[in-house]
Amino acid sequence: MASKTQASLLASDLIGRQVLDRVRDSAGNSVVLHEPTLASYIVNNERLATPIYPHDATTIVSLLDLNPSRPGEDEDEGESAQPRFEIFEAGTGMGSLTLHLARALHAANPPLPPPLRHLLHSAPLAPHYDFSSSRACLAVTPAEQALLDAYASSRRAVLHTLDRSPKHARAAYRLVRNFRRAQYLPSVDFHVGAVDAYLAQRIEQSRGRPFLARAVLDLPSAHDNAARVVEALVPNGLLVVFNPSISQIAEFQAWMTATDQPLRLEKVIELDTTTVSEAGMHDSAGGRHWDVKMVVPKAQQGDEEAAKPVQVMRPKVGERVAGGGFVAVMRRWPVSTGPLEEESTRETEAGETSSSE
């Protein structure tokens, strides 16, 4: 656990240690060793873009309603198995939401053989990342590459994350790779480019059939890139739009209506802000953090007979406010169905009736 005094620890002091062991830093402070949680790993990591903070990412994953089954659980597995479950994330950024989504999909994929797991987290990175496939980011032999590609073809659930910036994509790749020794990296394919160009190519490969079960747009003007995403979504698929302001959500809803998109807006929610502290091990889990502890009042310290611990309960004060924003959840409807307009009209009429009453 890092110290707020900017003290340091030698790597040699950590070798051979166990979680919850205590060591001394350069300032003489006692430091407890923790295995980082997903939240603390993201909050304390290097960032090239503003992250979706962990408590917000957790909410978005929950709204996507992901229920992956483990290999072998479904009766219809085999030749008549369901198509691969694919999620598309536009706007990789730091990779915070990417890592949360990959963790949610992890159980759906077959176990990764230990030698391949070791290869993923220990192989040197290629001098020039080739984002034609995530596996091409590593400097490996052709035989090792073939093993990685063979595993990739066996996946039952995949997250495709795309960013226009190669720099952001490389940083996000490293973020996912370095968490728990690349545990969730096999479930993610990283891409660099434009949303429309990437999805147009995928739609052509699928012969016009939609293939995305879920999609997340974390883009400033999401409606400028959404038409192709909607086309790629399967009926009953979910589209989530994340924006800092409610006016951006309203712009998307206006575009959706004006262009007659086969989408139904199900809900819009505001994400709560929270406070975080620099180098906090247990921060950014959401909610309001409280300090609950037993202390001896200063006036009684030094007098063993009079000293009586008292309970302190007060909100913690963080060093900065984190998170917040707005999330819209939409469901893809079949293009040929009419109930979407009829139901929307009935809701409008019902709202007008209740207002007049």
pLDDT at site 2:
44
pLDDT at 282: 54
Q: Does domain 36-71+81-286+319-356 have CATH number 3.40.50.150?
A: yes
Contact criterion met (CB below 8 Å) for 227 and 199: no
Under a CB-based contact definition with an 8 Å cutoff, are residues 336 and 258 in contact? no
pLDDT at 342: 44
Instruction: Write out the DSSP string of 203-215.
Output: HHHTTT---EEEE
Alpha-carbon distances of 160 from 89, 196, 212, 232, 251, rounded to whole Å = 6, 14, 10, 13, 25
Task: Give the burial class of 150: count Cβ atoms within 10 A of its Cβ; 0-12 exposed, 13-18 middle, 19 or more buried.
Answer: exposed
Q: What is the mean pLDDT of each run of 10 residues along the chain (357 residues)?
A: 65 91 91 89 88 93 94 68 90 97 97 96 87 76 94 96 94 96 96 96 96 97 96 98 96 96 97 68 62 78 74 72 88 73 51 50
> Residue 277: its pLDDT value, please?
61
Residues of the chain with CATH 3.40.50.150: 36-71+81-286+319-356
Sorted by sequence, the CB contacts under 8 Å of residue 9 that are 6+ apart come out as: 23, 25, 26, 31
Q: What is the pLDDT of residue 180?
A: 95
HSE-CB of 289 using CA atoms within 13 angstroms = 21
Is residue 148 within 8 Å of 119, Cβ to Cβ? yes
**Which pLDDT score is estimated for 70?**
87
- Residue 313 confidence (pLDDT): 84
346: three-class secondary structure by DSSP: helix
Q: pLDDT value at position 74? A: 76
**104 CB contacts (<8 Å, ≥6 apart)?**
61, 64, 66, 68
Give the single-character DSSP code of 154. T
For the chain, the straight-line distance linking the first and the last C-alpha, in angstroms and rounded, comes to 60
Phi-psi category of residue 106: left, alpha or beta, with phi > 0 → left and psi -120 to 50 → alpha:
alpha
Quick check: helix, strand or coil at residue 279?
A: coil
Query: What's the pTM?
Result: 0.84
Calculated CA dihedral for residues 85, 234, 65, 42, nearest 10 degrees: 60
- Can you give the pLDDT at residue 350? 52
